[in-house]
Amino acid sequence: MNIGNLTGIFLDTGKLDEIQKYHTLGIVRGVTTNPTILVKDGVGGGWSGIEKHCREILQLIDPLPVSLEVISNDPREMIEQAQMFAGWGKNVNVKIPIHGPEGGTENLRIVHELEASHDIRVNVTAMMSAQQCLLAAMAGATYVSLFGGRVNNMGYDSVGEIRRLRQLLDSFGSSAKIIVGSTREVLNIIQWFEAGADIVTALPELLEGMLVHPYSKETVQMFLRDGARLSGPRLRMKT
């Protein structure tokens, strides 16, 4: 399976029980994490604890991809961490922010080096515009992650930005996959796919919201009530 070509919904969590639940439904195509998610989900124990937890996720959904994010802004450490992550499983994608906390161009050099020299798949993250994503794609990133929810929060139109990015990547003949994350509501998921996203990341509760509809519940309840009336005591199936 070419995990770089997968499209669909990536589950945004680090909790093993949530990953197991939705993976067994067959509806997710990968998992994304970041340091904030892992801290929130209670991962501790330093590097040994991080490695143990991430290896469990990788094995749980193998061969589907898992995005693991570096936790340093030092170029040498970022490359070392990316190589370490890649050694934990063949389905690792390494998340590199588009630039450092004060800006700069160094992170794109790292993206290019990891993809071109180390054969490590990179997911460039924390991007808010099509122009940032275009540069990341040109640097060789396998995935470019646009934070659609934050784009909307800033008063801009995430749908328009996704469409713009889709047109740019197609016109450049880029194979980079568009990930749209920072998903705030169920409606975002369908809107962003319609706008041209290859992948949308979603929290477990948003998948639940996609699946469960009050009218579906009402209809199923009606079918079961009428089914019980229809069968009656004499028509019940024998066991």
Q: Where are the beta strands (DSSP E) in the chain?
A: 8-12, 30-32, 66-69, 92-97, 122-127, 143-147, 177-181, 199-202
Please provide the DSSP assignment of 17-50 as one string: HHHHHHHHTT---EEE--HHHHHHTT--SHHHHH
Q: Which residues are 123's β-sheet partners? A: 95, 143
- Is 95 known to be catalytic? yes
Angle CA(184)–CA(190)–CA(195) in degrees, nearest 5?
105
CA-closest candidate to residue 112, choices 129, 130, 124, 103: 124
Reported residue count of the chain is 239
Rounded Cα gap, residues 152 and 21, in angstroms: 30
Which position among 21, 90, 95, 217 bears the catalytic label? 95
Q: Which residues are catalytic?
A: 95
